[in-house]
Amino acid sequence: MTIFASLLMPSQDTSFARLVSLACHDLRTPLATIYGFARTIQRAEPAGGTLARYIEMIVAASGEMTDLLEELAVVARIEAERYEPVLAPVDTLELVREALPGTEGQGVEVETDSDAVVRSLIAFADCARKHGGVESVSAVVDGTEVRLSPIEPRCAGVIMGDELKDLGAAVAHRVLRALHAEVQLDGEELRISLAASPGS
């Protein structure tokens, strides 16, 4: 191939982020097939039997795998600088209550990607329970700041992304950073400051 011909050809993205993105895309089809057939069998199988319980486990695991692939795909887009959040105005208290019902406090309007923030908050709460051993995580909203607690000391490195042991928490940090939010650990509280508007 001549140099001139190579200049005319579009450049190929061989980055690791692109590889992850392709893997996520290609894995979705077989996973959707597994989920679809499992749901079909689930509808036909009487409830309460051993087979029904196994099928229920397959359906649940397929759903978890789908969520994990989506998380990886989001990271790949962020790393490749192709992440395009869907921004819309939302009240911070209503936003956090969607992730953690029972949240108290005073909200304000911000412009952000609600679905991405909700997934991130759920991921942080799941991480605190899984790696910190707490039964439940509560949240308080104060304007643009969200405070999650309790965060046990043994969970601190994981929930802050310093120890890569939890995919959800690691992705949440990258997503929130892409949304210009700040995440800090203050004792047993995880403080998340949401940007009032993009780039602020």
**Residue 14: partners with Cβ closer than 8 Å, 6 or more residues away:** none
Angle between helices 50-79 and 167-178 (to 10 degrees): 40
What's the pTM value of the predicted model, to 2 decimals?
A: 0.78
Residue 66: what pLDDT? 86
Residue 186: what pLDDT? 96
Residue 131: what pLDDT? 96
Condensed to tens digits (0 to 9), the pLDDT of residues 78-131 reads 888 888 999 999 999 999 999 999 999 999 999 999 999 999 999 999 999 999
**Residue 129: partners with Cβ closer than 8 Å, 6 or more residues away:** 135, 136, 137
* CA–CA dist 105, 191 (Å, integer): 14
Condensed to tens digits (0 to 9), the pLDDT of residues 24-74 reads 788 888 989 998 999 898 888 777 788 888 989 999 999 888 888 888 888
* CA–CA dist 25, 45 (Å, integer): 31
Burial pattern 145-167, b for ≥16 Cβ within 10 A else e, equals bbbbbbbeeebbebbbbeeeebe
Q: Is the pLDDT of residue 11 over 70?
A: no
Condensed to tens digits (0 to 9), the pLDDT of residues 151-200 reads 999 999 999 989 989 989 999 999 999 999 999 999 999 999 998 765 55
Long-range pairs for 24-29 at CB < 8 Å and ≥24 separation? 24/69, 24/70, 24/72, 24/73, 24/76, 25/73, 27/69, 28/66, 28/69
Residue 51: what pLDDT? 86
**Residue 190: partners with Cβ closer than 8 Å, 6 or more residues away:** 124, 128, 147, 148, 149, 151, 159, 183, 184
**Residue 18: partners with Cβ closer than 8 Å, 6 or more residues away:** 76, 80
Q: How far is CA 151 from the centre of its chain?
A: 19
